[in-house]
Amino acid sequence: MAGEIITDPEQGFPLHQAAITVDGGLVAAPERRVILLHKPRGYLVTRSDTQGRRTIYELVSKDGWLAPVGRLDQASSGMLLLTNDPAWAQTLLDPESHLPKRYHVQIRPPLAPEQIATLAAGPQIDGVQYRPMEIREIRCGGRTQWLEFVLIEGRNRQIRRLLDSQDRTVLRLIRIAIGTLELGALRPGEWRELSAQEIRGLMGKASVEVDVKAH
C-alpha cells in the first residue's frame, strides 16, 4: 500500500513495482558490471584477512562494490569473475546450468591412462558422488604431467580431492575458461571489464541451460 512503512526486514515485494528512496532521493539499480581477474597464486578470495594475507581486493578496481562469482583457493590461479549483480552471479553458479569450467593442472607423478579414465567417469570419494567430466593429457615431462579438466559442477576443491584420491600432488592449478570466455593474454594480477556482449554470452548460455533443465 502506498505510504505504508515496512519494518519487517523479511517482507517480500516485487522489485519491478517498487520505488526505493533514501532521504527523498530515488535509488536506481546500478548498471551490471563484471570484471575478469587473473588471480595470482597466494591471494585469498575474500575482502579481508585477520592474518594479514594478501587478498584479491588489493588487485581489482576500488570503484564500487564487487563480489566474486565462485571461488579459487589460495594456491590456485587463473580466471575469476567479480560482479555487482548477485542475481546474475547466482544464475551463473547454478549447478544445473552445466556451464563448463576449464582448468590446466600440473601434477606429480603422472597418471596412467586408466587412472585418468577412472576419474573422468565420475568416481565416488569419501561419500561424495562426482559427475562425469572431461580429462585429457596435455603433455608429460617424465616426473610431472599437465592435464586439462573440464568440469560441469563446482564442488569445493574438486580437482584437488580427485587427484588426492590417486595420491597425486598438485603443483599448479589454473582456471583458463568459463563457458566460451577465456583467460586470454591477461597476466597474473591483471584484470579487465567484460563487454556487454561477453556478459550476455555467459548469461545466455547459463540461462538457457537452467531453463531447459527446469522444463
Which residues are catalytically annotated? 73
Distances (CA, A) of 123 to 130, 136, 152, 161: 6, 16, 14, 11
The runs of H, that is alpha helices, within 23-138 are 86-93, 113-120
Distances (CA, A) of 21 to 3, 9, 28, 29: 12, 16, 9, 11
- Cell output for 132: 562425469
First-last CA distance in the chain: 35
